[in-house]
A = this chain, B = another copy of it.
């Protein structure tokens, strides 16, 4: 039986989450529907709600109640529902209250300006317009890290916002191994003769035809359209508005269908996670996803391990050809090769499954150095371009497609990039375990069945909510610490076969 104080706390957080989910709908609508002249007002609505949410979740009254309830539960099992929620509430409350208001305001201002200068710099391809602003943001983020506290370097504290509980030195070792091996794999592929045989996927397919197919395929893997939607947005995303309401977005390129198809499988992977979180715990950490890394593991698993596998297309290719009325001559092997083409390129969001991680590693190394003060922003373009030459073997032609391409830093998202690669690592490690549990899992895909896979994900990941943090969950499920081995094995085996290495 929960204490009266605990229930009071639960209900306060429920209301805060309702406000937050309201602001999610405003955001979703802002990305999908808002008329051109309506977005200024939307900004005002969102800023009011953000202020109210911040005020409520960092109030002294809430802090006192939280402390009282913590006292009441010191002797309980740390993994009982109440202790799990208390652990996460505490962590959030501390993060929200550790920063002095002055610093919060300064960061807010610096990132509003930052976004402006970033846009200008990118437009005119002139990094110097953005450099002072970016320097200011990183200086402030360093101060932010000081307030949170860390053991060896400021970057630790910022990384911990997105992946609490994963030790930075450990993740560094994992990512370094990933980097070194991937660099080699990319070089090997560059030397392969297979590249010349790859078909282009540029047949024209009307958006409406693509959309029907995307709906069919996402529904069949298990996304529930009675509890969700698919809409169009310039930058695809998935958003849970609340129980029974999870929304995917995508965009259609009529001359390049993989854009919508794989981004939809990716977002549906996120969506399946959201749709299968424990609904009755909605509004508390127990009903929430673990971390960005775990979230990304779900999207990558469906997009890449499943959606780019030969078994998957063994079932879908005939349907695809019929529905799309296109690519009639392509064999399964040719199709599989075409959707797995790997090619070093400048833009992260367009990168393939293999090179993507190198884009992330570059950003991880650079943002870490910028926060820790071992790199000056003025030197960023030079070092960025050097790393692209070293890791991907390409010459960045200008900063707009170089160090100015991502929006993250100018909005204050620092420590966020590694979660993308974490997602890939975890997806591979989970998938390795799934194949141990069900060695014939890929036979399911050949008949268009995904129940065993989805049930495995539900019971091991989705239904657990936030009970365990990232590293714990990975160990709990796979019996091992997070490791680079499984992603590397998966990529080496897959690309080795495809490129006949």
Q: Give the interface centre of A19, A23, A35 by most chain B CB atoms within 10 Å.
A: A35
Taking a contact as CB atoms under 8 Å apart, the answer to whether B244 and A41 are in contact is yes
A35, B243: Cβ atoms under 8 Å?
no
**Chain B positions within 8 Å of A36 at CB level:** 226-227, 244
The answer to whether B37 and A18 touch across the interface, beta carbons within 8 angstroms, is no
Q: Which B residues are CB-close (under 8 A) to A229?
A: 33, 35
Q: Is A405 an interface residue (CB 8 A)?
A: no
0/1 string, A1-39, CB within 8 A of B gives 1: 000000000000001001101110110010001111111
Listed residue (A21, A38, A225) with the most chain B CB atoms within 10 angstroms of its CB: A38
Range class of the A interface residue count: 35 or more
Q: Find residues 218-232 in chain A having any chain B CB closer than 8 Å to their own CB.
A: 224-229
The interface residues of chain B lying within 8 Å CB-to-CB of A406 are none
* A141-166 contact mask (Cβ, 8 Å, vs B): 1 or 0: 00000000000000000000000000
* Beta-carbon contact of B29 and A45 below 8 Å: no
Contacts of A15 in B (CB 8 A): 48
Q: Is residue A241 within 8 Å, beta carbon to beta carbon, of the partner chain?
A: yes
Residue in B closest to A36 when the chains form the complex, CB atoms = B226
DSSP majority for the A interface? Answer: helix
CB distance from A220 to the nearest CB of B (A): 18
Asked if A383 is at the interface of the complex by the 8 Å CB criterion, the answer is no
Asked if A40 and B225 make an inter-chain contact with CB atoms under 8 angstroms apart, the answer reads: no
The answer for the CA separation of A119 and B472 in the assembled complex, in Å, is: 51
Closest CB in chain B relative to A38 CB, distance in Å? 3
Task: Identify 26 residue pairs between A and B in the complex whose beta-carbon atoms are under 8 Å apart, listed by A's number.
Answer: A18-B44, A18-B45, A19-B48, A21-B41, A22-B22, A22-B23, A22-B26, A22-B48, A22-B49, A25-B25, A25-B26, A25-B45, A29-B29, A33-B229, A35-B227, A35-B229, A35-B245, A36-B244, A37-B224, A37-B243, A37-B244, A41-B241, A41-B245, A42-B245, A44-B242, A45-B242
Give residues in A with beta carbon < 8 Å to B: 15, 18-19, 21-23, 25-26, 29, 33-42, 44-45, 48-49, 224-229, 241-245, 282
User: Which are the 8 A-B pairs with shortest beta-carbon distances?
Assistant: A38-B245, A37-B244, A41-B242, A38-B244, A37-B227, A36-B226, A18-B48, A22-B45
